Structure 1
Amino acid sequence: MTAKNTRQQLTRALQERRLMRFHRRFEDGWVNGYVVGIGPVFLMLCEVSDHVRFNGFGCYRLGDVKNLQPAPYPEFIEAALEKRGEVFPETPAVALNSASDILVTAGRLYGVVTVHAAADTPEACHIGAIVSVEGGVVWMQDIGPDAAWEAQPTARRLATVTRIDFGGGYETALALVGGPPPEPVLRERAPLRLVADNG
């Protein structure tokens, strides 16, 4: 499927609120959900988990989408969501123009954001608060699986970001237990410039 065909199919799914699924480059398994936004490089999906519940939002690079198709048994999925009292969530005002725009706007709306750099580390992701986005990098104050916040932010190159998640059950649970992040210990600006220039 060409990029143009993928965008056309995503646009129809958005207009018709059709439950879709697709594979991703670098990652296994299907992603299921409703297309709620399409940007130049990223799409935004209202995700439906394997437990048939709404599970936040995911932004995926359009170039990584494979095998895009309508999800099977949509009537069952939608009936189960309705009977469970799951309300279709309001689409957040997240700008989809670029990874930096997504991170800035999602970071303002959500206390915790998940960032994937699957091309570099397919099995890993980074979860935390967005401190700043500048010079080709995002500074994140990470929160660990024990819901403990790191004291010092970490810089990550925007060019490596393949997926951004927010509002899901796991991120919400970490934020509930960890509370708001402590005031970050900011690094010197010299390393920031080096990271950006070497990118």
Structure 2
Amino acid sequence: MIEDELVRMSTLGCPVEIERGRAGETFSRVRGIVVGVEGNWLALQALVDSVYFDGYFLLPIRDITAVVEDTENGYVSSAIEALGRPTVDYHLPADASVSSVLQTANAHSRLIALSIEADDDQALFVGKVVERGSDVFSMLLINRAGVWSDEPAELEYSDVTRIDFGDRYCAALARFGDPAPQTDDNS
């Protein structure tokens, strides 16, 4: 069972590759170290270029099709050890619903990135969650030019396939993009 394998990987602390998909579609693979399994969600300390830590990936377990322990690249463990592993400073909430995971990621980082990969467009939304409802949430978006949208976008919880935060891309947009507009933050 996938969840049992994820829990096992969380105790080992070794790099893994996560294969993902839904309803016959294949989503992008992600690499990282499992740092939490709660409810229906997985938290990975993200690895890019095999050995560099770059924030977190939060993934719904229902979309995970395989967990592969990275034992093929002998240099990876040595490189990670030499380059250093950041302290894990994020933990999934105990109830780990889409809404609560969005809330904790939103509180943890100035910007979050949401993937909706089940669409043909493979959409990426970067910004701040400003309101959470029972089936939908609103997110104020910032584009790649660093300009904020005038009105929040309404998105459905069930469409979210990945949440990224604490990464260099979001940090750069938060630092060098336009200042975030003031909102009534009910997230």
TM-score with structure 2 setting the length: 0.86
Instruction: Name the structure where strand makes up a greater proportion of residues.
Output: 2
Instruction: Return the alpha-carbon distance in structure 1 between the equivalents of residues 161 and 29 of structure 2.
Output: 16
Match of 2:90 in 1: 92
Match of 1:129 in 2: 128
Q: Which runs of 5+ in 2 are unaligned?
A: none
RMSD (Å), alpha carbons: 2.1
Matches within 5 A, 1:79-158: 79-84=78-83, 86-95=84-93, 97-158=96-157
* 1:185 shift after superposition: 8.9
Q: Which has the higher contact order (CA 8 A, sep 6+)?
A: 2
AA matched with 1:106: A
Q: Which runs of 5+ in 1 are unaligned?
A: 187-199
Instruction: Return the alpha-carbon distance in structure 1 between the equivalents of residues 50 and 74 of structure 2.
Output: 15
TM-score with structure 1 setting the length: 0.82
- Larger-Rg structure: 1
Aligned residues: 181
Question: For each residue in 1:107-157, what CA deviation from the matched residue of structure 2 results, as whole angstroms up to 9, or x when unmatched?
Answer: 111110111122234521111011121232111110100111112211111
Instruction: Name the structure where helix makes up a greater proportion of residues.
Output: 1
CA, structure 1 residues 76+7, in 2 after alignment: closer, same or farther (shift >3 Å)? Answer: same
Instruction: Return the alpha-carbon distance in structure 2 between the equivalents of residues 150 and 171 of structure 1.
Output: 16
Match of 1:190 in 2: none
* 1:91 shift after superposition: 3.5
Percent identity of the aligned residues?
25
Match of 1:49 in 2: 48
AA matched with 2:77: E
